[in-house]
Structure 1
Amino acid sequence: MLDLFSEEQEDSYKPTITEAELSDADVLVELRKLKEELKDKVVVLGHHYQQDDVIEFADITGDSLQLAREAAKLDKEYIIFCGVHFMAETADMLTSKNQKVILPDLKAGCSMADMARRSEIDRAWNFIQKSTKEKVVPVTYINCAATLKAFVGDNGGSICTSSNAEKIISWALSQGEKLLFFPDQHLGRNTCFKMGIPLEDMVIYNPNMLNGGLTSEQIDKAKVILWYGFCSVHQGFTKDQVLAIKKKDPEMTVIVHPECPFDVVAASDDNGSTSYIIDKIAKSPAGSKFAVGTEINLVNRLAAQFPDKKIVSLSPYQCLCTTMYRVRPRWLLASFRAIKENKPINIISVPEDIAHSSMKALDRMLAIK
């Protein structure tokens, strides 16, 4: 992942002794006070997967792209993004130059995004280009570093989200004969199969193996080249969990995120993006039952929001996003304190050349109907 923060910012990120000595209750009291005091210049964005004690302070909640686009509409000087690194990058690229995007914990990354690095993508692209004469169009899931978005922008491809993946992949295959999809293999596979592309026409490129573990013949024969990446949260759901919960309660609707493995999605009743899952549950009648295959904080929040429905996690284990959990009220307080002192810390700033190329890919996505 591209290192976009300075050494000075990294040092200032560390909590002071005073902050470390504050109790959790004291942190919340001071945080509420500072948030009210700085409300005219600071907006807090909270991703759906954040814990409730962070969501309490969010002015806007949502998915990563939705949050970044909402922030771009505002005139607040500081945007505190309670999410992970690639989300803050996107927000920085979409907001104006006089706005500063802050990530409360610079170590809040994304395991999926870390599974695809720019040097690996460049190496894979060179091998793929040498292996076939057919045109390959790259598409990256928005859950990746800005350097990967820039690669796609410079090579005629597009970004996609879990909501519009089918539309973007359809566009990509209208522009060329083959698709390179990264970093999430499951979203790519599930979407392409839904579009009628057979599994045997898809291959997996593993950056940890020579030439991705593929031959030139396999590349030339394939229609879809999937990157060997996945979400550590959604990878935790299994087909056995689906079968077990359906056996226990046949009336239970199993709905999962398309980042889940292929057999999980195939065995489930429905699948869709986070916003799709929320909307589906919200519009369902009282008494509906859902087993949800996505991050546990969102599942628990939905259960609390809709007490007239039975909403449980598909997994009996805690499927949580550990990197998202790095953002805590204590670090949020440190961000507010620094802003009050006019010494903002943990500012995420994407270099102009990377941002320019990334925006080409993002604008391409937004233009695809």
Structure 2
Amino acid sequence: MHANDIRQDIRKLLKERNAVLLAHNYMRDEVQEIADITGDSLALSQEAARTGADVIVFCGVHFMAESASILSPDKTVLLPRMDAGCPMADMVTADALLEMKSRHPGVPVVTYVNSSAAVKAVSDICCTSANAVKVVNSLPDPEVIFVPDRNLGQFVAKQSDKTFHFWDGFCPTHERLKPADVQRLKEAHPDALFICHPECNPLVVALADHVCSTSGMYEYCRKSPARRFIIGTEAGILYRLRLENPDKEFILASPALICPNMKLTSLEDVLASLQTMSPVVKVPEEIRVPAKRALDRMIAIPRD
């Protein structure tokens, strides 16, 4: 089947099913191109919840579809590739987190949204990479348990007076970026700014001109007078960066910055998902309600 025919069939079915197509910033270019909304994982779920769509087709990974189900329990959430997981999210389970909580009684759990619904359900509050510092510093407690990303946790800890208990999780894709990769590119392109995601190793983060979430990168690069950027996050972000800034140059910090899970979803998968109305991701109420409470506490923190 020709790519144009697939795109047309997807758009036709989206209309027929009253569906909205979401694509994470790390998806394949052609998937981002056809999506109704692109963005960070939680922002996508929040935007989808505000739409009048009956169906959410989430081109992302499993925990993201769960977040959509948490915020939109009355909508049908489809994840075109059920095998699209997140290794970092898989590094912590609800039972293991409960065991850690028992060792630190009364200490609140701050959980990064890159985690399962079951883990969110036994957490006190969630955070994103963009608001993690604000979330942690909003808590009155002198200590926090930070789950699951130790790199993001260490980035936040440098901007907080609290005592941190880190979960030993990480993003394998961001972890593959080494300081030597960055140093080499900085030497080759002395005029370039290095921007990285806080999921990168602290030694890489220390070399950055700016550290931010993926949505933060779009904004920063758009506003910056610089003409050349070294990008320290998953390769999928380059599609929109180049689209929005045709007069600027973007260099991926390492060819290793490709997440195999984020690249699983194809246009054919999206079409098949809409045709069969499967696979469906549905978070059970006993998990959804406490998980939503942790998300709501984050959302309730006043913005600047």
Q: TM exceeds 0.5?
A: yes
Equivalence for 2:292 = 359
Equivalence for 1:20 = none
**What are the ranges of 5 or more consecutive residues in structure 1 without an aligned counterpart?**
1-22, 130-134, 198-222, 339-343
Say whether the 8 Å CA contact 1:149–1:357 is kept in structure 2: yes
Equivalent position to 1:297, from 218, 233, 236 = 236
* Distance of aligned partners of 1:363 and 1:304 in 2 relative to their CA distance in 1, 3 Å threshold: closer
Q: State how many pairs are aligned.
A: 301
Equivalent position to 2:112, from 131, 141, 145 = 141
* Distance of aligned partners of 1:43 and 1:127 in 2 relative to their CA distance in 1, 3 Å threshold: same
Deviations 1:293-334 (A, max 9, x none): 00112124413432211211112x241111111211111111
Equivalence for 1:4 = none
Equivalent position to 1:170, from 137, 141, 148 = 137
Counterparts of 1:1-369 in structure 2, within 5 Å, are 23=1, 25=2, 28-39=4-15, 41-97=18-74, 99-129=75-105, 135-152=106-123, 157-172=124-139, 174=140, 176-195=141-160, 223-285=163-225, 288-315=227-254, 317-338=255-276, 344-369=277-302
Amino acid of the residue matched to residue 183 of structure 1? P
Deviations 1:82-125 (A, max 9, x none): 0011100110111141x100000111110110011112112222
Q: Distance in 2 between matches of 1:91 and 1:295?
A: 22
Say whether the 8 Å CA contact 2:9–2:271 is kept in structure 1: no
Say whether the 8 Å CA contact 1:35–1:336 is kept in structure 2: no
**What are the ranges of 5 or more consecutive residues in structure 2 without an aligned counterpart?**
none
* Distance of aligned partners of 1:262 and 1:353 in 2 relative to their CA distance in 1, 3 Å threshold: same
Amino acid of the residue matched to residue 114 of structure 1? D
Say whether the 8 Å CA contact 2:10–2:270 is kept in structure 1: no
Bigger CA radius of gyration: 1
Q: CA RMSD for the aligned pairs?
A: 1.6
Amino acid of the residue matched to residue 135 of structure 2? I
Tell me by how many angstroms 1:169 deviates: 0.8
Q: Secondary structure at the match of 1:307?
A: coil
Tell me by how many angstroms 1:348 deviates: 0.7
Amino acid of the residue matched to residue 272 of structure 1? C
Percent identity for Structure 1 against Structure 2:
37
Q: Secondary structure at the match of 2:57?
A: strand
Amino acid of the residue matched to residue 356 of structure 1? V
Q: Distance in 1 between matches of 2:31 and 2:10?
A: 15
Say whether the 8 Å CA contact 2:149–2:169 is kept in structure 1: yes
Which structure dedicates a bigger proportion of its chain to helix? 1
Q: Distance in 2 between matches of 1:96 and 1:52?
A: 29
Tell me by how many angstroms 1:289 deviates: 1.2
Q: Distance in 1 between matches of 2:73 and 2:171?
A: 31
Deviations 1:311-363 (A, max 9, x none): 11112x2411111112111111111212xxxxx21111101011110111111
TM-score (normalizing by structure 2): 0.94
Tell me by how many angstroms 1:238 deviates: 1.5
Amino acid of the residue matched to residue 146 of structure 1? A
Q: Secondary structure at the match of 1:136?
A: coil
